[in-house]
Structure formats: C-alpha cells, structure tokens
Structure 1
Amino acid sequence: MSLLVIGINHNTASVDLREKVAFGPDVLDQALSELRENTQLNGSVIVSTCNRTEIYCDTGVSDKESIVNWLLEFHGIAPHELKPSIYIYEDQDAAKHLMRVACGLDSLVLGEPQILGQVKQAYNDAKKSQAIDSGIEKLFQKTFSVAKRVRTETEIGGSAVSVAYAACTLARQIFESIADSQVLLVGAGETIELVAKHLDAHGCRGMIVANRTKQRAELLATQYDAQVITLNEIPNVLAQADIVISSTASPLPIIGKGMVETAIKSRRHQPMLLVDIAVPRDIEPQVSELADAYLYTVDDLQSIVDGNIEQRKVEAIQAEAIVSEECAKFMEWRRSLLAVESIRQYRHQADNIRQDLLSKSLQALASGSDPEKVLLELSNKLTNKLIHSPTKALQDAAQQGEPTKLAVIQESLGLDQAK
C-alpha cells in the first residue's frame, strides 16, 4: 500500500497541453471508473483545474507506467507529447505535494484560496464515484485539516495579489460597509467581471455597469442584479456612485475632472472613491486635485499588490513548516499501520496455541490426571511453543552473520544485546 501522484501543472506544461489533459465534469465519473478497472488501484482522486491535472492514488498491484499509459490512452495523446511534462511523487513526497497544493503553496498565485475548494470538489466527486478507499480518505481528510491550520495560523491568503481584488480591498478600507455603497463599474471585460465577483462576495448589492455596448454589460449585470447604462449615460448617474472602478480599452479618458466636480457638488461633497485600473487611463489625472475625490491608479494598486506578494512569501515560510510537520506526522501514523496486520496475526497465532494446549489440559484434568503435573506440562509446552519462532530467528541471524537483524530481534524481544 503506497501513495502516488502523477500529474502536470502550470510549471511543467503549456496551456494547450493542460487543456488536452483536463477532465471535464462530463467525463470525470467515466475516467475514475476506467482508471480503477484498468490499473487495479485501491483508490484514486483526479484533481483537474485550469492550472493542473493530477491523479492521486493508493496503489495496490499497479505501477506508475500503467497509470501514465492509461492517461495517454484516455486523452489520445502521444507519449512524446505528454511524458516530458509529467511529474511523479511517491509516499511522503506525494502526501506533502497534495498538502502544498491544497494550501495554495503550489499555485500560480501564491496562497490563492480557490484551489482548496477545487481539491474538496475533486474528493467529493471521487467519493460519489466510489473511487475512494481508506488510504485516500485519510490522506485527503488530513490535507483539509492541514489547509485549515495554515489559513488559521498564517496570513498567506490574507492580502490582495490581483489588481481587481486590491481595488475591492481598497474600497472596503475606505468605506465602512460596501454593502451600503453604490458602485459604478465602467467596462465589462474580464477585470471588471472579477471586480464584480469580489464586490458581490463582500456583500455589495448596489452596482451599475456602464459599457460601450449594453449587450455585453447585460451579460455581467444579470449575474449580480445590476443596472446597465451606456458610457454616454455616466454623467447622469455619476453623482449616485460612492465608488467608481473603471477598466476599459478606451484610448481616451471617459471620466473627466469637470464631470466628477459636478457629481461631487450634487453629492454635497460626500467623498467619492475612483479607482482607474485601465491602461491608457479612463479617468483624467486632474480628478485627484478635487476635494472629496480620491483617485487611485493601476500603479497605486500594483504597489499594493507587489507588497502583498512579498508578504505572502514571508507567510509561505511558516506555511511550509506547518505542511512539513503535519506530513511527517501523517506518514508516521501511516507507517504504524504496517505493523497492525502483523500484530493481529501474531496475537491470533499465540491465542490458537493457548486454546489448543488449554483444551488438552482440561481433557487431562477431566480424565483424572494429577492437576500439578497438568499445569506444569501446560506451562512448559506453552513457553516452548511461544518462543520457538523467535528462538529460531535469533539462531538464523547469528549463524548467517547478520548483526543488524540480530539486534532488531533482540530489541523486539526486550533483550539486552550482547556486549
């Protein structure tokens, strides 16, 4: 019984290759079933995200090559195309790798929290497919507890490391509650989508999406029950906005100093936060000259992000120490299982000997034999039978000139080694 992980990730494979090896939800159940049938694994979990595809296994008679071959066949990929990108970890290295993955220590963005949810989903999918055995179960449950400890004891996931998240963090720092704030999002591209997602996660319910075309904006707005306007309508609603976050591809500024000045007057000088994460700029730099208007650019946010990345690197040192400590404990427990079956067999063997000799002694007593002689014979025979195998093992180790083996047997029997 050994642990094994076979996979590729953003460090070893291109996006094109990762896409070819990905397991979508529609094929995952089939893949787990085929993997179990074709490789005779005890248990397995497939973790497949945009940045990695990994197969975690509790192996029986399977070897690494059979699993790799199955992976190639399932996706119809030539060996020369995939094999150079594959990494393989076994036993303690495999357990440690999974723990690092779940804690965000092996992610493209250090400490990102989404991967833990993805690992949990992969585990649940494998459980539904009845692909999990006790070995995999224990590994993943231990991993989840390690990830929880890392999140509790370190700040590895506590700082913004994307411009979109930094913008939302800034808004939360300036306004007591963004749930009560009106937010104007200018643009409807990927960055604004991410901003909207973060705002929604932090309770913001008042969003207006402004875009050059309403159709694109409506695709985003419907997810968050947001209002949709065109860029030309921004002056009409700007005074309603406590927070403005803009990211378009416009070659010229969309929001000017005069427009903001007019909005602030309508707001009776209630403060307004403007975050411009577009390049070229969407908001005229002169807006920063206005009282009650607080303008931050992408450069301002990037300096926050860079500082937070460095802070995450510091926190990662402690996280790595926690992973190493917990992994060592897990493997120590796992190795202890190797003795369980031997101990069970040894106790069963000794009990059979006891039962056999006791039965014969009781028969002798029933037939009228001298009780003292029966007890003496029982004790002698029981002793001889119980020490027979250890005695032979000691003799064989000594005769074959194996002092290390002899010392191990002596220690296991509680004997003082010969000086």
Structure 2
Amino acid sequence: MTSMLKQNTLFTQTSRAMLFSLGVNHKSAPVGIRERIVFAPDRMDEALGGLQRATPVDEAAILSTCNRTEIYFRSEASHPDRKVLQWLGEYHRLKPDEIQPYLYRHTQDDAVRHLLRVACGLDSLVLGEPQILGQLKEAYQSAGNSGTLGRQLGRLFQHAFSVAKNVRTSTAIGSSPVSVAFAAVSLARQIWGDMRPLTAMMIGAGETIELAARHLHSHQVGHIIVANRTVERARPLADQFGAEIITLPAIPSRLPEADILISSTASPLPILGKGAVERALKARKRRPMFMVDIAVPRDIEPEVGSMENIYLYTVDDLEDVIQENLQSRREAARQAEEIIEAQVHSFMGWLRAQNAVGTIRAFRDKAHGVQIEVLDKALGMIEHGKTPEEALTFLAHTLTNKLLHDPCHRLNESARDGKLHLIEAAQTLFDLPGSDKPTDKFGS
C-alpha cells in the first residue's frame, strides 16, 4: 500500500501531448472519500467546462459512479495532472492533500489499458459486471455534448466500447451470475423460462430485494408484489418498478399468486411456514413455486424445501452457484486481459501514427503545389504552339526533378556528414534497395 501511495504522488513532466487518467475507486478510497468527489449528472456540463477553463487540458471526460470518480484527459502541458487535482479539490471544496493519498494516475498506454479494463468490468467491485459500460457511454455522451471530447479521447472511448463488446462476445466474463440477487433471478429463469406471465412476490424492501426486483423487471416479469412491514418503507421500491405493496399479514392470502418468491428481511423468526405454503399450493392446483430465502436467520421454514412442487434455495445454495460462477469469470478475465493487451498496442499504434499526420499533409501540400506550378507551365507551352508530346516531356522531366531535388540534396548532405541513419530511413521510406556503398568505377 505504501509503495502505491508513493507512486501516486509522483508527477512526471511531459513535453508533448499525452493521455492521462486520474481518479479514485472502491479499491483505493473508502466510501467517505468517494462520496465527497462525486459529480452530479445534471452538473456534468458545468464541471467539464470548468475543468477545461481552469487547467491546460484540451480534451476531457469525467466518469463518476458510486464506486469511482475518474477524469480522462489529454494535454500538451507539463504536469497537467497537478492542475487537474487542484481543480478537483476546489470543485468539491477539498484540499488536494485530502484526495491525493487515495489517488491513482496513469499516462499514455497505462491510461489506455486502465480505461479498457474499466469498460470490460475487470476493475469493478463485481468482476465482469456490465453496468459500468453504460456509465462509460454516458460519460462519453456528456463530454461530447460539452464539447470537451476531441479526436484522440473520442477515439479512445470508441475503442474501449468496441473492446468491451469483443470481450463480452468472445469470453464468458458476463455469462454467469455473481451476486445473490442476480443468481436468484437466473435460477428462476432456468425454471420458468418466459417471465412475462409470472408474478413475483418480494418480501422485504432492502438493497438485495431492490436488486432482485431490478433484475426481474429487466427480464419483463409480469407483476411484482412487495410485502413489507410498513407501506411507507416499501413505497420507493414499488414506485421504481410499478409494483403492488402489501403488508406482511396479507402474505398468506396473496401467496397463491406467487410463481416466484424472494425473501430478505431482518426478522428473527420465520415469516413463512409450511402450512401457509401447503394452502397456497392447493389453491394453485399444485403449480410449482420457486422460492429464494436470502435472509439470515431464515424467513422460510426449512421444511418447506421438502415439499413437492416447491423449489427452495437458501443463501448457502446460491453462494455455491456464485463461487462456481466467480471462478468461471476469473478464467474469462484472464482471456480478457490478453485481448486488452493486444488492443492497447493497437490503439497506441494509431496514436503514434497521429504524430506523422502533419508531416504527411505538408508533404502532400508541397507536392500538390509543385504539380500545379509545372502543369500551368506545360499548358502554357501548348498555348504557345508546342506540341502535346513536348509539353508532356517537359511536365514529366520538370515534375520529377522538382520533387526529387530537395530529398536528393538532403541525402547528399547526410552522406557527407556521416548521418547514415537518414540514408537508411530514405531507403525504407521510398522502398529502395540498399545502395549506399560507394561505387568503384575502376573495378577492384
């Protein structure tokens, strides 16, 4: 940890445009720090504009979630990360020293690698989770709308989205559930298949129940009933998913409707007994019921699991599924890291190629100028009575001489000065055979 913090305080000097990422996440900072530097979505445009005005940054994007706040930027200045850190502290009314111990910072290929790992879910609290990709796309959209997303950073984000899609389709990184709620809903889908005709009863209104309801809603379950001790506590959860609210005493009368039941309360005693389930099964004409008891201590009497047409899973049953799936994701993550490494090299190759763009454009402009000049003279020769053959001969000879004059002159100078690396570079640039050895016209 000490070495990591020491590394975080190092700021290297740059003399050319570089890509940076700077931020904190669930591994580097406690929630008390993370919550103090979150950027509100409705103020992202203002934040990006302020960042660009206050720092020597010419491209920027901000990713801000409950688990991470990261700033991706491009700059040609020296120590731009110091300025960005100072702005980050001022924006959130914090001293840089309060943030810096938890900060990580990456430049160039390390920054590219970090973004690709984030996009693929390899840097997430839950390995391989897909939500981060959507959050990255929102960050990309916000930066685009704010005008802070330039050619290089824009290309990097698009590359990250492409790599994440490749990793999702070519590995099993996201195919296995690794949360209790996700595992519960995945098992329900295996048993029932189509969720649209089904009714799910959720007992409790805590975080796990909310996550399970979210997964059920995303799979288009037909109806959700939230049963809780108080209606007020269940209201925010029910409003999110258009669910119906009932109190705990109403559970036995509504239980026959439940094809899926997921329970997670803090009750010290079971909420659902064998007798109530037997009556519900009779009313359902023995149609199966899928039940998940996530609570500790248990909400559903263990004897219920031995009943015919009841599929009851406890948190321990799900933990076995999760551990097996986590191992599957770890193996997929190793494959994903190999893909990412290859794609880092690919992007850095594109980035390095941008250094030649100005030179190539200038070379083409110069050649085009020579072409126009010589062509005008050739056309003038025809107007003054010269034959087309004479004009074409002049055009070819003069154009060749003008295009070759400067390179040949520089090559002669290089040879005289012993700059043989320029001779070798010319052979590569113009695809020439090695011919820099002196010629002995008198023989040996």
**TM-score of the two chains, using structure 2 as the length reference:** 0.85
Equivalent of 1:10, from 11, 16, 26? 26
Equivalent of 1:24, from 40, 47, 52? 40
Between stretches 27-36 and 217-226, larger displacement belongs to 217-226
Equivalent of 2:308, from 282, 291, 296? 291
Contact preservation (8 Å) 1:205, 1:224: no
Partner of 2:220 in structure 1?
203
Change (3 A) 1:79 1:218: closer
**TM-score of the two chains, using structure 1 as the length reference:** 0.90
Deviation at 1:125, TM superposition (A): 1.1
Between stretches 261-270 and 60-69, larger displacement belongs to 60-69
Partner of 1:133 in structure 2?
150
Q: Which runs of 5+ in 2 are unaligned?
A: 1-16, 438-444
Whether 1:45 aligns to 2:61 is yes
Deviation at 1:317, TM superposition (A): 2.1
- Which amino acid is 1:10 matched to? H
Partner of 2:430 in structure 1?
413
Partner of 1:54 in structure 2?
70
SS at match of 2:368: helix
SS at match of 2:291: strand
- Which amino acid is 1:224 matched to? F
Deviation at 1:72, TM superposition (A): 2.6
| Alpha-carbon displacement from aligned partner over 1:315-366 (angstroms, at most 9, x marks no partner) | 1222222223333333323333332321221122233334445556666787
Deviation at 1:307, TM superposition (A): 0.8
SS at match of 1:281: coil
Give the 5 Å matches for 1:273-312.
273-312=290-329
Q: Distance in 2 between matches of 1:200 and 1:366?
A: 80
Partner of 1:168 in structure 2?
185
Q: Distance in 2 between matches of 1:365 and 1:295?
A: 95
Deviation at 1:182, TM superposition (A): 2.2
Deviation at 1:198, TM superposition (A): 1.0
Contact preservation (8 Å) 2:263, 2:299: yes
SS at match of 2:311: strand
Contact preservation (8 Å) 1:353, 1:385: yes
Q: Distance in 1 between matches of 2:95 and 2:67?
A: 21
Give the 5 Å matches for 1:243-258.
243-258=260-275
Deviation at 1:405, TM superposition (A): 3.9
- Which amino acid is 2:42 matched to? D
Contact preservation (8 Å) 1:8, 1:52: yes
| Alpha-carbon displacement from aligned partner over 1:189-217 (angstroms, at most 9, x marks no partner) | 11111111111111112222211112212
| Alpha-carbon displacement from aligned partner over 1:138-177 (angstroms, at most 9, x marks no partner) | 2222222222222222221111111011111111111233
Q: Distance in 2 between matches of 1:408 and 1:109?
A: 50
SS at match of 1:250: coil
- Which amino acid is 1:293 matched to? I
The percent identity for this pair of structures is 48
Q: CA RMSD in A?
A: 2.7
Contact preservation (8 Å) 2:56, 2:83: no
Change (3 A) 1:349 1:199: same
Change (3 A) 1:184 1:409: same
Q: Distance in 2 between matches of 1:33 and 1:267?
A: 60
Q: Which runs of 5+ in 1 are unaligned?
A: none
Deviation at 1:109, TM superposition (A): 0.7
Change (3 A) 1:358 1:297: closer
Matched residues, number: 419
Partner of 2:99 in structure 1?
82
Deviation at 1:96, TM superposition (A): 2.5
SS at match of 2:353: helix
Q: Distance in 1 between matches of 2:374 and 2:134?
A: 59
Between stretches 361-370 and 384-393, larger displacement belongs to 361-370
Equivalent of 2:367, from 344, 350, 363? 350
Q: Distance in 1 between matches of 2:259 and 2:379?
A: 93
Deviation at 1:380, TM superposition (A): 6.5
SS at match of 1:179: coil
Deviation at 1:293, TM superposition (A): 2.1
Deviation at 1:402, TM superposition (A): 4.1
Deviation at 1:46, TM superposition (A): 0.8
Change (3 A) 1:287 1:340: same
SS at match of 1:178: coil
Q: Distance in 1 between matches of 2:234 and 2:109?
A: 49
- Which amino acid is 1:412 matched to? L
- Which amino acid is 1:288 matched to? G
SS at match of 1:347: helix
Q: Distance in 1 between matches of 2:308 and 2:238?
A: 31
Q: Distance in 1 between matches of 2:118 and 2:46?
A: 25
Contact preservation (8 Å) 1:7, 1:88: yes
- Which amino acid is 1:204 matched to? V
Partner of 1:394 in structure 2?
411
SS at match of 2:196: helix
Change (3 A) 1:219 1:74: closer
| Alpha-carbon displacement from aligned partner over 1:281-318 (angstroms, at most 9, x marks no partner) | 11111212222222211000111111111111111222
